[in-house]
Amino acid sequence: MSEQNDRKFLYTLDEEFTFSCDRTLPCFNTCCRDINIFLTPYDVLRMRKSVWLPAEEFLHKYTVAILGDDGIPLVVLKMKEDQDKTCPFVSSEGCSIYENRPWSCRMFPVFPVSAEEEEFLIEEKLACHGFRMKKKSTVRQWKENQDINKYDQMNETYKKITLHDYFQNGNKIDEGMSKLVYNTCYDLDAFKRFLFGSRFFDIYEVDVQTIEAIKNDDEELLKFAYRWVQFSLFNEGGLRLRDKEMDKLLQARSGAAS
Ligand code: SF4
Ligand code: SF4
């Protein structure tokens, strides 16, 4: 079928579009191949819940990391090396990690046009039979039904980091900082080892409840990872040194730099 007949439309959050996808359609599973799926740290956290792999092993087996122009690591889901370049998680029953599938797979066929999410692009591909179904939803309803809001919530701080004024002004981070972002946000096991295997909590002021939360809950660990990255990159994120004199010096230095 010619792609010339695919059509693109813009929608606002409360406008309706017609689409639904299910396993009875002749195109079932055909779209889970040869695609670039960028993964946020929260995507990786959720996907790991389905495959029960340590972070480092998951990243090695299922992802490829590249560097963005600003030095921020971009993590992409690795397709299989078969002829169709199929997603490693697609099975004859559909997505084998459905409960924990990434943000982009949940959003499909809806793509936010900008970070502000005021408009959404939907490309009605003829090969996708879902657009011939009668089911209508607004973008807002779609996001609710696909449990996107939880993902948006968990991605919010990462979005703030990657869209920080520092980058908007054309700056880039060096290789060391790129590694720090990757190791902290994506390899959460390594970050946890760093936190609990070093004098981190002797040096930084972190309350006992937060320490307990990050020890036992990966989502809390990820939220703390974002704070560490914000602190390391921009001296933001609300982390303070226990040594008050040093902390004062650091604050003064960052005040002078801004
Ligand atoms: S993760 Fe699941 S939904 Fe996404 S491309 Fe792979 S099989 Fe399809
Ligand atoms: S309806 Fe579209 S999204 Fe669903 S399986 Fe078919 S091609 Fe994929």
pLDDT at site 16: 96
If you average pLDDT over every residue of the chain, what do you get? 93
pLDDT tens digits for 25-45?
A: 999 999 999 999 999 999 999
C-alpha closest to that of 105 among 168, 33, 178: 33
Give domain limits for the chain: 3-152, 156-257
Atom of ligand 2 nearest to the CA of 28: 5
Residue 140 · residue 13 · CB < 8 Å: yes
For residue 110, the cross-strand partners are 122
**Three-class SS state of 151:** helix
Is 90 near ligand 2, meaning CB less than 6 Å away? no
List the chain residues with pLDDT less than 70: 1-4, 253-258
Distance from chain centroid for Cα 162 = 11
Please state the φ and ψ torsions of residue 207, each to the nearest 5 degrees.
-75, 160
Is the torsion defined by CA of 227, 229, 230, 231 positive or negative? positive
Query: Which residue among 6, 18, 21, 126 has the greatest number of ligand 2 atoms within 8 angstroms of its CB, and so is best to mutate?
Result: 21
| Residue reference for tokens 């079928």 | 1
How far CA 155 is from CA of 149, 217, 236, in Å, comes to 10, 17, 17
DSSP 232-245: HHHS-SS--BSSHH
pLDDT tens digits for 160-213?
A: 999 999 999 999 999 999 999 999 999 999 999 999 999 999 999 999 999 999
Global pTM reads: 0.93
